[in-house]
Structure 1
Amino acid sequence: MANKNYEVNLNPDWIKKYIKKILLGLIIVIAAFTSTFTVGPEEEGVVVQLGKYNRTVPPGLNFILPFGIEKMHKIPVQRQLKQEFGFRTTKAGQRSSYTKEGYRDESMMLTGDLNLTDVEWVVQYRIDDSYKYLFKVRNADKTLRDMSEAAMRKIVGDRTVNEVLTVGRQEIATSVKQLLQELCDEYENGIRIDQVVLQDVNPPDPVKPSFNAVNEAQQERETLINQAEADYNRIIPRAKGEAQETIELAEAFALNRVNRAKGEANRFHAVFKSYIKAPEVTKQRIYLETMEKVLPKLGNKVIVGEQGNNVLPLLNLDKKGGQK
């Protein structure tokens, strides 16, 4: 009986039926896994059917045709991405660590005055159009890296080493961002440049001491210039003020003398007119007025006669009104 049951279990028809069920189950499972995808909140899904663009799906649970008929590419359109040049971040966090080993060729550049400089920078960007990002340019990230390096070398090559190391850093970053965005629009790679940041700009290690000496000399020169300008701003306005004060005093003195001269001239004309009308009376009045001014200034006075023997000691002309 047992042998009979064993023979029944090994029936070829039953085995084929069992294998078909297993294969059907596997097909269902594979179809479920290959047709269901979840798109993240910062992403959008680009569906390709048999190698050709078909549609773009929003975040959430999405379904596509299974067994490779359709494929989905998840593109992080809401996330800010970045590319580093001249260095790489080895550990991100509160205390990030970086390395330059193997990346010095990216950052070593020739300036417009034929000096070498080591420029490290970061390009921050977003994927603005997922269709263009996938289909307009082959390997858009690598293309963006090549364009970024070319744009930075062009902008740095148009400036002197002093501009690159000091005052021109912000202008360089702005110019590179503008040029890089123009290249992205021209290539239609679907990328929008958010920011270009110059992380660090240094002269090459062998010439760093010389550059530091030059920078110190320039800083000392700027200090002396600022001190000279401060002295100029302190002394020159004061000198101008004193000069203006002297001019105003001279003008006031001249105006006073002129007015006095005009007044005396008018007084002389008035006296002359009176003299013409009454010569004797005018002469007498002038004489008396003159004596009134002169006698008080003479001090002690002694009046004698013509022979010098008639002294009048009692006449005291120092006291106004005389003695009674």
Structure 2
Amino acid sequence: MAWNEPGKPSQDPWGSGDKPPKGSGQGPDVDELVEKLKQSLGNKNPFGSVGMGVVALVIIVVWLLSGIYIVDPAERGAVQRFGAYVGETGPGPHWHIPWPVEKVTIINVDRIRHAEIGYRSSAGQNAVVVPSEALMLTEDENIVDIKIAIQYKISSARHYLFNVADPDVTLRLAVESALRSVVGKNKMDFVLTQGRDEVVSKVKRLAQEILDNYESGLLITSVNLQDAQPPEQVQAAFADVVKAREDRERLINEAQAYANDIIPKARGLAARELAEAEAYRQRVVEQALGETSRFVNILTAYRKAPEVTRERMYKDAVTNVLTKTSKVFMTDSEGKLVYLPLDRLQQGAAGAPEPVVQAPKVLAPARNTSSTLNQRGTTSSGEKGSRLRELLRSRELR
């Protein structure tokens, strides 16, 4: 009879008559295997007491080494012990008691963060307007559409992490509140035109005061007014107003340029007139002083020698008169008075290419002039004066 005859499993020559056949769906007894393992471990420890100590020491060393961390130059580490803040660490390697005793939160305090009020922008896409934030009411009850961008950074890691639940949202709300406050205290024209810089500076200062009161640990570095315009429904009318305002500014600038050009000229002309008047005044004053001094000198000389002074004054007067005329009178040997019209000769020479010389005119002897000159070779000073007077009188008659 064969050893593997069906129906007789006890006849298995390998002693596995109790093993269930392969493919029968029954596995080895797990409980039995576990019991055997316990018995073997209980009877003999493979590691021994020394081995267990080494394993415990390795575990402790690994646990302690897990507390080493490195903080970058732009970062700060906030250390918490059982959830409570205990200190802040700067750049460099540090160690803390590992979890679950202490925990370190590392945060970048130099990175510039961004926030947007009135719109949301994304890379490669157009900005999306947020009307609930952008539309604001001015002092004159007009509505303006304002978009503003804020840049900020963390000034205190402790305040940023533990004083405010959501610092970034708090900053956005604080800036929006400050912006509405500033816009509400100014008129629409001021906000949209010349008041942009003032609005930005006031918003930055007011928002920073709010954040400091909250001790949020945030510092606003810059506030940029991206856009400020009236609502879309009235932009056409507002554009006409802006154009009219620009025309007014242009005309004012042109008038100012003309004033800047004409006023210096007028001032220069006025200064020249004043200088000429001052020079004329000084000249007249000096001339008057000179005439006064000369008159005083003549008066003094006249008081000393009246006749001599009188004759000298007469000769000076005649000399001054005759030096200013171009007419020449002379007498010939017969006592006739000859008149030479030198002024007419000079005019003819200037007006015609060839001068025309006219014959001198012979005038009738003056009354008692030639006879007096023939009769006397020498006369007194009084007779000479009378002759000169007669000569001048006859000249005036001619």
The TM tier, using the shorter chain, reads 0.7 to 0.9
Q: Letter of the 1:11 partner, please give it.
A: L
Deviation of the 1:311 alpha carbon: 10
Q: Letter of the 2:286 partner, please give it.
A: N
State whether residues 96 and 102 of structure 2, in contact with CA within 8 Å, keep that contact through their aligned partners in structure 1.
Answer: no
- Where structure 2 has 5 or more consecutive residues not aligned to the other structure, the ranges are 1-14, 21-26, 41-58, 331-335, 338-364, 375-387, 389-398
Give distance in 2, aligned partners of 1:311 and 1:277: 32
Residues 114-125 of structure 1: pairs in structure 2 closer than 5 A: 114-125=141-152
State whether residues 36 and 63 of structure 1, in contact with CA within 8 Å, keep that contact through their aligned partners in structure 2.
Answer: yes
* 1:12 corresponds to 2:34: yes
State the Cα deviation string for residues 50-93 of structure 1 (Å, max 9, x = none).
54335545666866644x666554433232212111111221xx
SS of 1:219 mapped into structure 2: helix
1:22 aligned partner: none
Give distance in 2, aligned partners of 1:201 and 1:240: 45
Deviation of the 1:153 alpha carbon: 0.8
What value does the CA root-mean-square deviation take over the aligned residues? 3.6
Stretch moving more, 222-231 or 270-279: 270-279
Give distance in 1, aligned partners of 2:266 and 2:212: 61
Q: Letter of the 1:272 partner, please give it.
A: L
User: Relative to 1, partners in 2 of residues 1:247 and 1:137: Cα closer, same or farther, differing over 3 Å?
Assistant: same
Give distance in 2, aligned partners of 1:126 and 1:189: 11
Normalising by structure 1, what TM-score?
0.76
* 1:221 corresponds to 2:253: no
From 171, 181, 194, the counterpart of 1:154: 181
SS of 1:208 mapped into structure 2: helix
Give distance in 1, aligned partners of 2:319 and 2:87: 123
| % identical aligned pairs | 35
Task: Flag the structure with larger Rg.
Answer: 2
Residues 233-312 of structure 1: pairs in structure 2 closer than 5 A: 233-295=260-322, 297=325, 299-301=328-330, 302-303=336-337, 304=365, 306=367
State whether residues 144 and 230 of structure 2, in contact with CA within 8 Å, keep that contact through their aligned partners in structure 1.
Answer: yes
Deviation of the 1:108 alpha carbon: 0.9
State the Cα deviation string for residues 215-268 of structure 1 (Å, max 9, x = none).
111111111111111111111111121122122222222322232233223222
- Where structure 1 has 5 or more consecutive residues not aligned to the other structure, the ranges are 18-27, 318-324
* 1:163 corresponds to 2:190: yes
| Aligned residues between the structures | 295
Q: Letter of the 1:205 partner, please give it.
A: E
* 1:86 corresponds to 2:118: yes
Residues 157-236 of structure 1: pairs in structure 2 closer than 5 A: 157-236=184-263
2:154 aligned partner: 127
Normalising by structure 2, what TM-score?
0.63
SS of 2:122 mapped into structure 1: strand
2:49 aligned partner: none
